[in-house]
Amino acid sequence: MRHARRRVVRRVTRLAAVGGLLLGGAMVTQAAMASETPPASARALSSPGTATGTGAALVAELGTARTAGDWIGADGRPVVAVTDSSAARVVRRAGAEPKLVAHSMDELKSATATLRSAPRVAGTAWSVDYRTNRVVVQADRTVSAADWSRMTRVAARIGGFVRMERTQGTFTTRLNGAQPILSTGGRCSAGFNVTDGRTDFILTAGHCGPSGSIWFADNQGNQQLGRTVSSTFPGNDFSLVQYTSGRAGDGADVVAVGGGKGVRITGVADPAVGQRVFRSGSTSGLHDGQVTGLNATVNYPEGTVTGLIQTDVCAEPGDSGGPLFSEGVALGVTSGGSGDCTTGGTTFFQPVTRALAALNVKLLVSAQNAGGARNASPAPAPSATQGAVAPSAASPGSSAPVTGTAQGETLLARLTDTRNLGPGLLVIAGSLIALVATRYIRAEQDRKAYQRYYSATWG
């Protein structure tokens, strides 16, 4: 009876060990597959392409007299502000959530036009808050009591849907990002690599420097990076820095996010209110937040810039020109704002789509993504010159570590990568130990049984 129980225990142990080997193998394989860069067809455009696309399409269909913007709700569904019940039914049938509001986009735009026509006050900004159906006017600490009172009277004449707010800090451009670029005028951050089909450029902020500015990649001025060939500021806030070599080099579609890592950029789009976004800059590194407004106007001391993206992402001097992106999609370059990354603040971005159209250039993306990325073109052949935006030896495109898996890396290499060992290999190790242990115990039992038999036979 005792021997029968031992046999049952050994068999159960062996079966459990074999099951553990199979389970551990599946866990390791899944971890290895998860570390692969996803194919272009499965990557990056979900946020701008689905929720925001549905909302924007409904706004375009219904018109600005019956809608007042769209945004992404807390549950990820698109929300569309509408002014009547029939428009609400159309939105609901399309799978989005309608919200009845009192003021149409036409009324909100008329309000911002009135503010724009009033005498300019440096240190003020305004944007349309789609979610509250209001125009929000902000004034920083440099705005005098008299100017604030005058703007308040203008807002009162427009209507009660204009909200006046005082904000901490000062609205300034962020001169002085991903990777730093330096000139005699100050320090900025490279935004995205772009091309006109013949020459490659860095897209950055216009206030970083006028046409003719020379940029370097080092403080000593030994590594000349390029020269500003086109700059627009104020009004808009974008510029092109032409590479000295004419080519962005390896990693032209990756933006640095710190820690030797980068995010591969696969396309370009317009953001939506409520969308989660990331900003990278050479001063403060990587930070995230939400889009809080679109078509914002900011009255910097140097001049007024319109059509900006407003966010609650922080930024600091030197972050100007740095990239704003979401899920590998380029959205904007850093213009300016108030506050800092200790206390928080408001940051405005120049939309990339608007800059590309005005400059007649296209975003540089990797060859495998060029076919599916909107407003994109294939990356140039690699050269010895490293792209300013690309950290280390990165190559542009999906979210991935700069020193991560190469495209030609084998499954075996991923399986042996210590980052993928984890629980799966622990399960495999435990199962192997169990198998060896049961085999050893069986061998010992057989040896002792033979000894007993030999002793009994030969006495």
Check which CATH number belongs to the domain holding 369 and give it.
Answer: 2.40.10.10
Examine residue 198 and state whether it is found in any structural domain, yes or no.
Answer: yes
Do 274 and 179 sit in the same domain of this protein?
A: yes
Examine residue 347 and state whether it is found in any structural domain, yes or no.
Answer: yes
Q: Which residues are CB-neighbours of 59 under 8 A, at least 6 positions away?
A: 67, 69, 70, 80, 105
Examine residue 409 and state whether it is found in any structural domain, yes or no.
Answer: no
Question: 306-361: per-residue pLDDT in tens?
Answer: 999 999 999 998 899 999 999 889 999 999 999 899 989 899 999 999 999 999 99
| Residue of 183, 207, 312, 326 with catalytic role | 207
Examine residue 131 and state whether it is found in any structural domain, yes or no.
Answer: no
The structure tokens listed for 332 are 């904007």
pLDDT(416) > 60: no
pLDDT(391) > 50: no
Domain containing 78 equals: 46-100
pLDDT(459) > 80: no
Do 272 and 335 sit in the same domain of this protein?
A: yes
Do 357 and 327 sit in the same domain of this protein?
A: yes
Instruction: State the Cα angle at 386 between 319 and 227, rounded to 5°.
Output: 60
- The span from the CA of 459 to the CA of 109, in Å, is 109
Mean pLDDT of 60-68: 96
CB 55 within 8 A of CB 80: yes
Q: Which of the pair, 32 or 67, is modelled with greater confidence?
A: 67
CB 253 within 8 A of CB 265: yes
pLDDT(209) > 60: yes
DSSP string, 252-295: TTEEEEETTEEEE--EE----BT-EEEEEETTTEEEEEEEEEEE
Does this model's pTM top 0.85? My answer is: no
HSE of 419 in the Cβ direction (CA atoms, 13 Å)? 10
Do 155 and 299 sit in the same domain of this protein?
A: no
How, if at all, do strands 67-72 and 78-82 pair?
Answer: antiparallel
Identify the H or E element spanning 8. helix 2-34
Do 427 and 281 sit in the same domain of this protein?
A: no
CA distances from 167 to 82, 126, 239 (A): 30, 12, 29
Examine residue 40 and state whether it is found in any structural domain, yes or no.
Answer: no
Q: Which of 91-105, 173-187, 400-414 has the lowest mean pLDDT?
A: 400-414
Query: In terms of Cα–Cα distance, which of 271, 270, 291 is closest to 347?
Result: 291
**pLDDT value at position 377?**
36
- The span from the CA of 171 to the CA of 345, in Å, is 10
Q: Where does the pLDDT of residue 10 fall: very low under 50, low under 70, confident under 90, or very high at 90 and above? A: low
Do 157 and 249 sit in the same domain of this protein?
A: no
Do 396 and 428 sit in the same domain of this protein?
A: no
Do 334 and 432 sit in the same domain of this protein?
A: no
Q: Which of 136-150, 238-252, 361-375 has the highest mean pLDDT?
A: 136-150
Mean pLDDT of 91-120: 96
Query: In terms of Cα–Cα distance, which of 380, 381, 376, 369 is closest to 352?
Result: 376
| Residue of 104, 213, 284, 320 with catalytic role | 320
Do 111 and 84 sit in the same domain of this protein?
A: no
- The SS3 call for residue 95 is coil
Do 352 and 323 sit in the same domain of this protein?
A: yes
- The SS3 call for residue 333 is strand
Do 29 and 143 sit in the same domain of this protein?
A: no
- The SS3 call for residue 101 is coil
DSSP state of 235: B
End-to-end CA distance of the chain: 27
- Give how many domains the chain has, as a whole number: 4
Examine residue 230 and state whether it is found in any structural domain, yes or no.
Answer: yes
The question of whether 287 is a catalytic residue gets the answer: no
- The span from the CA of 112 to the CA of 294, in Å, is 12
pLDDT(257) > 60: yes
Do 183 and 275 sit in the same domain of this protein?
A: yes
What number of other Cβ atoms are within 10 A of residue 16's Cβ? 15
CB-count burial class (<10 Å; 0-12, 13-18, 19+) for 12: exposed
Query: In terms of Cα–Cα distance, which of 182, 192, 189, 252 is closest to 220?
Result: 182
Mean pLDDT of 291-299: 95
**pLDDT value at position 381?**
29
The question of whether 103 is a catalytic residue gets the answer: no
Examine residue 411 and state whether it is found in any structural domain, yes or no.
Answer: no
Q: Which residues are CB-neighbours of 434 under 8 A, at least 6 positions away?
A: 13, 14, 16, 17, 20
- The SS3 call for residue 335 is strand
| Residue of 129, 140, 200, 237 with catalytic role | 237
